[in-house]
Amino acid sequence: MQLNRSAIIALCLALCAVVSACAKPHLLDTGPVVGVASLNDTEYTTADGERLQVSRWDASGPRAVFVAVHGFNEYAGSFQLPGPWFSRQGISVYAYDQRGFGRGDAARLGRWAGGDVMARDLSGFVQLVRRQHPGVPLYVVGTSMGGAVAMKASVDHGLAADGLVLVAPAIWGWRSMNPILKSALWVTAHTVPEKTATGSQLEIWPSDNIAWLRAYSKDRHNLKQSRFDTLYGLVTLMDEAAAAAPDITMPVLYLYGLKDQVVPEAPSRKVMASLTGPNKQVIYEKGYHMLLHDLQRDMVYGDILQWVDRDAIATPASVQRPGLAATGKLRKASNSGL
């Protein structure tokens, strides 16, 4: 007997109800907020005592500061291409390894801390960087998951930034997923939360920079597997980020590539259209998910630099960038869907 799509969905939902008491997604343990957060050249210690590694690229007498927030399964070292470039332009770049990722305690790697905790960490880090650069404009640059954390922090945690640069932010949440995939993730996260998946069979290309991808795959600080409960937490964060978009009041630069195979175009355009504060949206016809590492990354860097220098408080606008073989001039994009 063959089951139609509705029957499959109903079966998945029934299974969810049966197994819900068996297990549940686990979160990293967090301590009570008993101290004062601190920051030195190599480490960020949160108010609850979590010690997170820091990478930085300093400019002499910076005219602006970037707090860079990495994506899923990455760490602060993912900014080793854009970091030096922006420091040469007079912008200091600070990045830290988010909880459960990067160079932290091996026993805690790959475990999900929770979107609220991650957003709180970002807000605290921004405050500490602010103190080191009083009076200097500070922007949060969030890539993929880091963009979702920045969006949530700006709405829920009073993020003290002058603007957000959202680089292909992860906003593909529960409301955007098809029911079958959504049900499958729910079941696995609630029955075998500690089991992992690699995604190696998906054949997704996150960038056209093959040399970078090879180095990325060999970097031991980039996680190669993902727990099901961590994926569940990530999707929940993406959902919260998408819901937060209309309430973001600070200036936003939203960057997205039409060749992105990680975050789909439809939900991305929906979120872009929901922005109500000052914002600029740049669409790259030949851009992939890892826009800061693509072969045309200098074009992306230039757009970020221009926005910081001149357009950060501009009225809403959208532009579309052609690929490397085109003229390089900005072209007005259709307002439909943006």
pLDDT, tens only, 291-317: 999 999 999 999 999 999 875 554 456
Q: Which of these, 300, 295, 253, 294, lies nearest to 272 by C-alpha position? A: 253
Q: What's the average model confidence in pLDDT over 47-55?
A: 94
Q: Is 336 helix (H, G, I), strand (E, B) or coil?
A: coil
> In this predicted structure, what is the pLDDT of residue 317?
62
pLDDT at 183: 75
Lowest-confidence pick of 29-43, 111-125, 233-247, 301-315:
301-315
Residue 202 has what pLDDT? 67
CA 240 – CA 10 distance, rounded (Å): 26
* pLDDT, position 325: 34
pLDDT score of 28: 76
User: Higher confidence at residue 121 or residue 195?
Assistant: 121
Label residue 89 by pLDDT band (50, 70, 90): very high
Partners of 253 in the β-ladder: 165, 280
Cβ–Cβ under 8 Å, residues 118 and 142: no
pLDDT of residue 7: 42
Cβ(253)–Cβ(163) below 8 Å: yes
Q: Which two tokens stand for residue 42?
A: 């190599």
CATH code: domain 5-332 is 3.40.50.1820
Give CA separation, 99 vs 46, 106, 127, 230, 331, in Å.
10, 11, 18, 12, 40
pTM above 0.75, yes or no: yes
Asked if the model's pLDDT at residue 90 lies above 80, the reply is yes
Instruction: State the pLDDT at residue 224.
Output: 87
User: What is the number of other CB atoms lying within 10 angstroms of the CB of residue 221?
Assistant: 17
| Residues near 163 by beta carbon (within 8 Å), at least 6 away in sequence | 139, 140, 250, 251, 252, 253, 308, 312
As a whole-number percent, the residues of the chain with pLDDT over 70 amount to 85
In the block, which residue shows the tokens 């390894």? 97
What is the mean predicted confidence (pLDDT) over 319-334?
Answer: 44
Q: What value does the mean pLDDT take over residues 107-132?
A: 94
Question: Considering all CA atoms of the chain, what is the largest pairwise distance in Å, rounded to the nearest integer?
Answer: 71
Q: What is the mean pLDDT of residues 9-38?
A: 63
Q: In whole angstroms, give the CA distance from residue 293 to residue 302.
A: 13
Per-residue model confidence (pLDDT) at position 316: 52
pLDDT tens sequence across 226-279: 888 889 899 999 999 999 999 999 999 999 999 999 999 999 999 999 999 999
Which residue would you say has higher pLDDT here, 77 or 33? 77
pLDDT given at position 178? 73
Asked if 98 and 149 count as a contact pair (C-beta separation under 8 A), the reply is yes
Residue 5 reports pLDDT greater than 60? no
Residue among 45, 86, 81 at smallest CA distance from 293 = 81
- Structure-model confidence comparison of residues 336 and 64, the more confident one: 64
